[in-house]
Amino acid sequence: EAQVTQNPRYLITVTGKKLTVTCSQNMNHEYMSWYRQDPGLGLRQIYYSMNVEVTDKGDVPEGYKVSRKEKRNFPLILESPSPNQTSLYFCASSLYETSGSNEQFFGPGTRLTVL
Amino acid sequence: GQNIDQPTEMTATEGAIVQINCTYQTSGFNGLFWYQQHAGEAPTFLSYNVLDGLEEKGRFSSFLSRSKGYSYLLLKELQMKDSASYLCAAFTGGGNKLTFGTGTQLKVEL
């Protein structure tokens, strides 16, 4: 089954404790992306990656890191989480085609609480 | 900067037609998406418009005018299950960055 998986789905942590949220896709997609979703602010892109070893900042990259060592995986790293990073996080992937649908497939989401 | 505007809330009646508008001011625009998101769930893809005009897909249609920075999503024969948030999003910055609007919460009533 074609899908994007994220782990963990729920996480409660404390300020300053490094954490990683994993994201994996099995569709051989080039484009992968991380978003956070907050009430009243909608989905905001954190980082995106066009392919292996190619990553770039989205609209809200501060406090986050990513890596793309393999095509299927795109982990999100919070080196020193703070309470303002409490949010719902989504990973997504798609083919990247100039004339195609560019449909993004979203993972189920990770609800993160930083105390 | 990038700016995408859509109404916060809309209400419509089951069986009716509703149009959700989206205006955008972005640099390096490459195309516009519409997504549906039910509460507590991940967004699901509805449409992607690159060229001007209307694209129809079942009960859902999406329109784009690049010169006016305007798009709309048209939902026909509304059903209760269409109650959801509808997200407008644009590929910007040369086509790689994706910027979302804050979403339109649609409520379908009997």
Radius of gyration of chain A (CA): 14
Residue type, B1: G
pLDDT at A27: 93
pLDDT at A25: 97
Tens-place pLDDT, residues B46-56: 999 989 999 99
Do B14 and B79 touch, CB atoms closer than 8 A? yes
pLDDT at A113: 98
| Chain B residues lying within 8 Å of A43, measured CB to CB | 43, 87, 89, 100, 103
Cα nearest neighbour of B100 on chain A:
A43
pLDDT at B1: 64
pLDDT at A62: 97
Q: Mean pLDDT throughout B62-82? A: 96
pLDDT at A97: 67
A5 in reach of chain B (CB within 8 A): no
Cβ–Cβ of A45/B91 closer than 8 Å? no
pLDDT at B107: 97
Do A56 and A48 touch, CB atoms closer than 8 A? yes
Nearest-by-Cβ selection for B102 from A42, A90, A109: A42
Intra-chain end-to-end CA distance of chain A, in Å: 36
pLDDT score of B69 more than 90: yes
| Chain B residues lying within 8 Å of A41, measured CB to CB | 102
pLDDT tens, N- to C-terminus, chain A (115 residues): 889 999 999 999 999 999 999 999 999 999 999 999 999 898 999 999 999 999 999 989 999 999 999 999 999 999 999 999 999 999 999 887 665 667 889 999 999 999 9
pLDDT at B93: 62
pLDDT score of B27 more than 90: no
B89 in reach of chain A (CB within 8 A): yes
Measure Cα distances from B25 to A60, A103, B2, B32, B93 in Å. Answer: 19, 22, 6, 12, 12
Nearest-by-Cβ selection for A90 from B42, B102, B103: B42
B83 in reach of chain A (CB within 8 A): no
Number of H helices, E strands in chain B: 0, 11
Structure token pair of residue B17: 């037609």
- Mutation for A interface: B45, B62, B87, B105, most A CBs within 10 A: B45
Do A69 and A52 touch, CB atoms closer than 8 A? yes
A38 in reach of chain B (CB within 8 A): no
pLDDT at B110: 92
pLDDT at B26: 82
Q: Is the peptide bond before A39 cis (omega within 30 degrees of 0)?
A: no
Output the DSSP codes for B57-97: ETTEEEEEETTTTEEEEEE-S--GGG-EEEEEEEEETTTTE
